[in-house]
Amino acid sequence: MTGRAVARVSRGAIEANCAVLRERLGGAELCAVVKANGYGHGADTAARAALAGGATRLAVATAAEAADLSVEARVLVMGALTREDLDVALGAGADVVAWTGEFLDAVAARGGGRVHVKLDSGMGRLGTKDPVEARALCDRVAATDGLELAGLMTHFATADEPGDDHFPDQLARFTALMEEVRGDHPGVTVHAANSAAVLREPAAHFDMARCGIATYGMDPFGDDPAAHGLTPALRLESYVAAVKRFEPGDSAGYGRRWRASEPTWVGVLPIGYGDGWRRALTNDADVLVRGRRHPLVGTVSMDNITIDLGPETDVEVGDEAVLIGEQGGERILAEEVARRIGTINYEVTTALLPRTKRVEA
pLDDT tens sequence across 248-273: 999 999 999 999 999 999 999 999 99
Is 11-227 in CATH node 3.40.190.10? no
Residues designated as active site = 35, 254
CATH 3.20.20.10 intervals, the chain:
11-227
pLDDT at 354 over 80: yes
Crossing angle of helices 101-109 and 83-91, rounded to 10°: 50
Report d(CA 37, CA 299) in Å as an integer. 28
Written as one string, the DSSP assignment of 136-183 is HHHHHHHHSTTEEEEEEE---SSTTSTT-SHHHHHHHHHHHHHHHHHH
pLDDT at 2 over 90: no
β-strands 286-289, 320-327 pairing: antiparallel
Give residue 1's pLDDT. Answer: 73
pLDDT tens-digit readout, 90-147: 999 999 999 999 999 999 999 999 999 999 999 999 999 999 999 999 999 999 999 9
Task: Report the share of the chain in percent with pLDDT over 70.
Answer: 100
CATH 2.40.37.10 intervals, the chain:
234-360
In one letter, which amino acid is 317?
V
Give residue 38's pLDDT. Answer: 98
Is 234-360 in CATH node 3.90.1300.10? no
